[in-house]
Amino acid sequence: NAGVMQNPRHLVRRRGQEARLRCSPMKGHSHVYWYRQLPEEGLKFMVYLQKENIIDESGMPKERFSAEFPKEGPSILRIQQVVRGDSAAYFCASSPFAAALGTQYFGPGTRLLVL
């Protein structure tokens, strides 16, 4: 059973460009969480999605950031008009159902570097 997959693993963008980060949850998992890790910091929650629904986006910046988890295909975290402060590692986690005994399985992360 493949784990949570994220691509690309590394992404370089220039200021003002768009970044698209993809997350494929584990097979059978319909709950996806996105976290951001700034340098030398812990992970911070951004958004929680179920298929076709955003459940909690309280950790996501109001502007330039959006997330989706369509019925078919991976979850996408989209950052428009990136700025240097967006440089971070973005982790996706999945679980089979809500409050699934506290277990979220993390992907390897996408390292975004904004030049």
Residues from 72 through 91 that contact another protein (CB under 8 A): 89, 91
Q: How many residues bind another protein (CB under 8 A)?
A: 27
Backbone angles phi, psi at 23, to 5 degrees: -140, 120
What size, in residues, is the chain?
A: 115
- The stretch near another protein (CB under 8 A) out of 18-26, 61-69, 73-81, 99-107 is 99-107
CA–centroid distance for 25 within its chain: 11
- Please identify which residue in 1, 14, 28, 42 interacts with another protein, judged by CB under 8 A: 42
DSSP state of 25: P
Nearer to another protein, 64 or 106 (CB): 106
Nearer to another protein, 45 or 87 (CB): 45
- Please identify which residue in 41, 51, 70, 73 interacts with another protein, judged by CB under 8 A: 41
Using alpha carbons only, what angle is made at residue 86 by residues 84 and 91, rounded to the nearest 5 degrees?
Answer: 145
Q: Judge whether 91 and 34 are in contact, CB under 8 Å.
A: yes
Q: What share of the chain is helix, strand, coil (3-state, %, to 5)?
A: 5, 50, 50
Nearer to another protein, 17 or 66 (CB): 66
Q: Give the interface with another protein as residue ranges (CB under 8 A).
A: 31, 33, 35, 40-45, 48, 50, 55-56, 59, 89, 91, 93, 98-99, 101-104, 106, 108-109, 111
